[in-house]
Amino acid sequence: MEPTEFARQFSRFMSWAHEAGSGQADGPVTSALRGHLGADAADLPVVVRELAPFEQVNLQIALERWAADREVEVVGYSVPPHHMHPELAQLLSGDGLPPLRRTAPPLADLPSGPGRTTAVWRTALLLVGDDRGDYAVLVRGPERHHEPTLTVEVAGLAGPQAQEVLAELDELRARHNVYRGQVLELRQSNAGTEVLFPVLPRTERADVVLPEAVLARVERHSIGIAEQRDALRAAGQHLKRGLLLYGPPGTGKTHTTRYVVQHVPGATVLLLSGRSLHLVGAVTQLARDLEPAVVVLEDVDLVAEDRGHSHGPQPVLFELLDAMDGAASDADLLFVLTTNRAEALEHALAARPGRVDVAVEIGLPDADARRRLLEVYGRGSGLAVDAADGDHVVAASAGVTASFIKELVRRAVLEALLAGAVDGTVTGEHLRRALDDLLDSTQEVTRALLGVPGQP
């Protein structure tokens, strides 16, 4: 940095610090807080509640509805760079504060539904007056470069009254929870836990190409139990269940899962994969709050022996299974686990019996399934082949995966476009060329990427 620029920025900082006050009891934020609470406020406790960071949207909605029924002044303030946001007790005492400046509350724009966002307070001090008297509520959201936390603090009331305030906010968060009934994808990032609202392609039963007995077993243990939840409870049977889908890559485990989660009636769906599998403990509690719920844990074999994010000596997979067992037996929860390597889970599943009730193999498609896959993936593509061409593709593609058939159709469409098919028709000739290309000896790696085990 140039000396002149450094001097300019330093001068701005000193001016800001001077305007903001000394950071002691006469600072603008502490003065406003003490003026609202009165001289005896320091003798009352500060009651603190910690929430999961992904509850920030629900907390904002709860606070806005709660504030509408009482007198509330919202005070915002800015904190100098590299300083932690002070706790409410510190704001009240004025001791050791960085220089604070009153501002509008800083906002973050967070997803609150498919294609929808809500502006939430990163930090806000609420000066409240109602039939309890005058008191303060401080909301502190996750901070950059720090352990992500979300806290609500209440000062100026006796302990039981402060707990009443927190209970009222809890009730409003539950009543107006934006996650209920939605499909949620949870991701772990440097900023904490992110909640997204993915829009899944609509998947019907006819789109799932599995042997009838296999699909029926999947449905019975997932959709069927949900449809009979009341009768099962009346018969004293538990609803919590675990379903493991296993088989080679590319055979349709994710596709089958997508069908299941869209047809479990009334369910909230929580999707976890990769690094986010380590969030299963918090997510299981969220699912319990939003039941009926489906928790999808994809590719769990990837964390079968991983201890990198574990707080204990056991592999993360054991923690996943423990979290499943920790949910109450009467919870209407469905856990769907997928894996490409069932053998990687056998030890953990055997050591934690009862977490997974049914394991279903999603294998390579047989000849009938490959023919049906051509029909499913060919819908709307312009694919128009006669029986002979269809028979040739089915016979020549033994041992391939569903992903292979999907890519085959895509390449056939491309062959038709490159050949100048003006009406968009994809013929048997185009399909044969695409198949020959995929089966070419130089495409072994491509086939492996599509999940094909060795030469088809």
Residue ranges per structural domain of the chain: 3-175, 205-361, 367-449
Strands ordered across the beta sheet of 101-103: 47-51, 150-155, 133-140, 123-130, 71-78, 101-103
Give yes or no for a contact between 88 and 138, defined as CB atoms under 8 angstroms apart. yes
- d(C-alpha 119, C-alpha 367), whole Å: 53
Q: pTM to 2 decimals?
A: 0.82
Domain 205-361, second-level architecture? 3-Layer(aba) Sandwich (3.40)
Spatial distance between the Cα atoms of 417 and 432, rounded to a whole number of angstroms? 15
Per DSSP, 42 falls in state G
Tokens for 393, please give them: 């593709």
Strand residues in 45-167 grouped as ranges (E): 47-51, 71-78, 101-103, 107-113, 116-121, 123-130, 133-140, 150-155
Q: What are phi and psi of 392, to 5 degrees?
A: -65, -45
- What is the residue type of 447? R
* DSSP per-residue string spanning 192-220: EEEEE---PPP--GGG--S-HHHHHHHHI
- Asked if domains 205-361 and 367-449 share a fold, the reply is no
Residue 363: exposed, middle, or buried by beta-carbon count in 10 A (0-12, 13-18, 19+)? middle
User: 367-449 has which fold?
Assistant: Helicase, Ruva Protein; domain 3 (1.10.8)
Phi-psi region of 291 (alpha: psi -120 to 50; beta: other; left: phi over 0): beta
CA angle 99/105/110 to nearest 5° reads 130
Outline where 276-423 has alpha helix (H): 280-289, 316-326, 346-351, 367-378, 387-396, 402-418
pLDDT in tens, the chain (456 residues): 566 666 666 666 555 555 444 444 568 888 899 999 987 777 788 999 999 888 999 999 999 999 999 999 999 998 888 778 889 998 888 888 888 889 999 999 999 999 999 999 999 999 999 999 999 999 999 877 666 789 999 999 999 999 999 999 999 999 999 999 999 998 877 666 789 999 999 999 999 999 999 999 999 999 999 999 889 888 988 888 889 999 999 999 999 999 999 999 999 999 988 778 878 888 888 898 999 999 999 988 877 665 444 444 456 677 777 777 766 667 889 999 999 888 877 777 766 666 788 999 999 999 999 999 999 999 988 888 888 988 999 999 999 999 999 999 999 999 999 988 778 888 889 999 999 988 888 888 888 888 887 654
Spatial distance between the Cα atoms of 186 and 59, rounded to a whole number of angstroms: 18
Token match 């996750």: residue?
142
